[in-house]
Amino acid sequence: MNPANPAHQIARPSRRSPSPVTVQSLSTGWFRRLALGVLGGLLTLLASGPARAESLTLRFKAPHWLYIEGDHLPGRSIEVNYLEAYCRAGSTDADWVKHTVIPHRAELLSLSADRKVLKLRDTLEDGVVVEHTVTAGTDSVDFRLVARNPGPKRSEAHWAQSCVRLGDFTGFPAKGTNLDDYLPQCFLVLSNRITRFPEIQPWAKTARYVPGQTWCPRHVPRTDVNPRPLSPVVPDDGLIGAFSGDGQWIFGTAWEPYQELFQGVIRCLHSDLRLGGLQPGETKRIRGKIYLMKADPQALRDRYARDFPEHRPSRTVRKTTTPPPEAPPTRRYRGR
């Protein structure tokens, strides 16, 4: 190779700064990558923030099963037997099937495309019609009911059960054989304090059907509640709830007006709603809530107090000297 021959000369890299075109290309590529990275991060933040907070949705399955679903919930779903039963008065010491339950049929009217708003209609055997609007929010589900009696006779529908099943939520799947295993996770408000079930004394053990526990508020006759063990303890208010098994979440439920608070045999909790019977042509409105919040008991109580000012939670110790009614011979029964 002859270096003097132009054909054999090798182009040497210039020692000068890159041309403006090269600098612009590099700058443009760098800024594009930066902008795309920032935009991607913002989109991820938006997708994981509000979407996660507003993730409660609804599903319904015949004959009357309501599912509250969310990827953040333990078990991802809360199953509710909604409504499990409409009941007559005089139920505390009565046959559940022969006397208490009024058969009904549930009908799905609509479910919004985003599964946030569910509309149902219950038709009772005696002709009463109950329209339900169920709305899923960010951390609660709202229930609005309109009950009307279009018939010529008084309806005996006195109260009704919303059975919330909490085995998965509390960390005790329903396949376990100890039906009381979830009780340490559950609570009432007593003496102005969140009180877990094992702390509640006395714990009633005898009734027409066992096990379970019923708490009757002051405004309801003690003859008109669930036929399971009736506690002499009177809760401060109408809130009943449970902590999740991982301790991260808190469940609560309440109705206005309400008939009783109840712990059942399907790892379930109830705040059961009150109808009080309906005269011919009469219409009544009932509302309820299920809360599924971060595990802050005071935040739950504050929300409950705002949503149900009629309950006027007590700030003093309540005592009851009324003994439970004498119980008939115990019989085991798997119904609610």
DSSP string, 285-330: EEEEEEEEEES-HHHHHHHHHHH-GGG---SS-----PPPPPP---
Average model confidence (pLDDT) across the chain? 85
pLDDT tens digits, 83-96: 999 999 999 999 99
Q: In this structure, are 234 and 247 located in the same domain?
A: yes
Q: What is the mean pLDDT of residues 203-232?
A: 97
pLDDT at 318 over 50: no
Asked if the model's pLDDT at residue 160 lies above 60, the reply is yes
Show which of 14, 30, 52 is a domain's final residue: 52
Looking at 52, 69, 99, which one is the last position of a domain?
Answer: 52
Using the 8-state DSSP alphabet, how is residue 185 labeled?
G
Q: Is the pLDDT of residue 16 over 80?
A: no
Q: Is the pLDDT of residue 218 over 90?
A: yes
227, 210: one domain: yes
pLDDT at 7 over 60: no
Assess whether 26 and 63 both reside in one domain.
no
In a domain, 14, yes or no: no
- Total structural domains within the chain: 2
For residues 97 and 180, state if they share a domain: yes
pLDDT confidence of residue 37:
58
Mean pLDDT of 55-82: 97
Residue 230 Ramachandran class (φ > 0 left, ψ -120 to 50 alpha, else beta): beta
Asked whether residue 184 is assigned to any structural domain, the reply reads: yes
Q: What is the pLDDT of residue 8?
A: 44
Mean pLDDT calculated for residue range 51-73? 88
Query: How large is the average pLDDT for residues 148-175?
Result: 95
Co-location of 39 and 176 in the same domain: no
User: Closest Cα to residue 117, out of 87, 137, 138?
Assistant: 137
Mean pLDDT of 147-151: 98
What's the whole-number mean pLDDT along residues 41-65?
69
Q: Is residue 9, in this structure, part of any structural domain at all?
A: no
Alpha-carbon distance of 171 to 180, in angstroms, equals 12
Q: Is residue 139 part of a domain?
A: yes
Query: Do 86 and 99 belong together in one domain?
Result: yes
* Average pLDDT over every residue of 50-59: 71
Peptide bond into 313 cis (omega under 30): no
Domain membership of residue 200 (yes or no) is yes
Residues 250 and 314 in one domain: yes
Q: Are strands 209-210 and 331-332 parallel, antiparallel or unpaired?
A: parallel
Distances (CA, A) of 240 to 41, 56, 237, 277, 297: 41, 20, 9, 24, 12
pLDDT surpassing 60 at residue 255: yes
pLDDT of residue 55: 86
How far lies 7's CA from each of 3, 10, 11, in Å? Answer: 9, 8, 11
Min mean pLDDT across 18-22, 29-33, 191-195 is at: 18-22
87 and 137 assigned to the same domain:
yes
186-190/213-215 β-pairing: unpaired
Rg of the chain over Cα atoms, rounded to whole angstroms, equals 30
199 and 85 co-located in one domain: yes
Using one digit for the tens of pLDDT, what is the confidence trace for 98-148? 999 999 999 999 999 999 999 999 999 999 999 999 999 999 999 999 999
Output the domain CATH number for residue 247: 2.70.98
Asked if 107 and 233 sit in the same domain, the reply is: yes
**What does the pLDDT read at residue 35?**
54
Average pLDDT over every residue of 52-80: 92
Please tell me the pTM assigned to this model: 0.79
Do residues 102 and 157 make contact, with C-beta atoms less than 8 angstroms apart?
A: yes
* pLDDT above 90: percentage of residues in the chain: 74
Query: Which helix (H) or strand (E) is 117 found in, with range?
Result: strand 117-124
Domain that holds residue 34: 22-52
124 lies in the same domain as 93: yes
- pLDDT score recorded for residue 175: 77
CA dihedral 80, 83, 84, 86 (to 10 degrees): 160
In the prediction, which pLDDT does 173 show? Answer: 87
Q: Quick one: pLDDT at residue 154?
A: 98
Q: Are residues 101 and 118 in the same domain?
A: yes
